Structures are given as structure tokens and as C-alpha cells.
Structure 1
Amino acid sequence: MLKKNLAQLNYNRPISVDSYDLLNRASQLFHKYEVDNLLVTEKGQPIGILDIQDLN
């Protein structure tokens, strides 16, 4: 696996949350999609990553 380059890997579409959404929305997405990280966007542009541990 470590000998593959990034182009050879399959990627899922990132789950995103808008920077103006409530943290409750992020919590719902974490549970619904069973992910640990969400892409944070503002005006459709990525601005950061929210980790599930950030909610604790």
C-alpha cells in the first residue's frame, strides 16, 4: 500500500459543514456518516477541518 502514489487510491467525496452552521449540525453529520473529520467550508471554499474531538 505504501508503494502506491496518491493517484492510485480511491477517495470518497468529503463530508462538509459550513462555517456558519451550528455545532449540532456537525455532530449530526459525524454520527450519520460515521466519520471523525469534516471539511469546513465558507462560501463553498475549504477553510479547515473539524475533528470530532474538537466537540469535547
Structure 2
Amino acid sequence: MQARYATHERYQRTREGWKFAERVDEVRNADATPLASSVPETGMLLITGPAFDA
């Protein structure tokens, strides 16, 4: 899935310096279309490698 988003941040001045007062993540659009190079979902996940071969 690909998504475009923006982060809106509001700062507040304190004695210790500037701090985050608010952070809002805005999803502008999301595309769940499979990428051309992605593997189709089969309902199975196969993980291999030295850490998984026991």
C-alpha cells in the first residue's frame, strides 16, 4: 500500500526550550493497488534464512 501524508506540528515555547504541543498526521490519499513488482497474496507466508532454519 502506498500513502501520501502530511504531518502538522504545533510548537510551544517553555523555559526548557521549544516543545511539541501537538502533532497531527493527515492521510491525503491511500492506494492499495498492488505494485507491479509485488508478489500476489496467497494466504501463506514463507520466511527462510539462517535465523529461521532450525
> Quick check: which one's strand share is greater?
2
TM-score over 0.5 (shorter chain): no
| Range class of TM-score, shorter chain | under 0.3
Q: Going by fraction, where is helix more abundant, 1 or 2?
A: 1
Bigger CA radius of gyration: 2
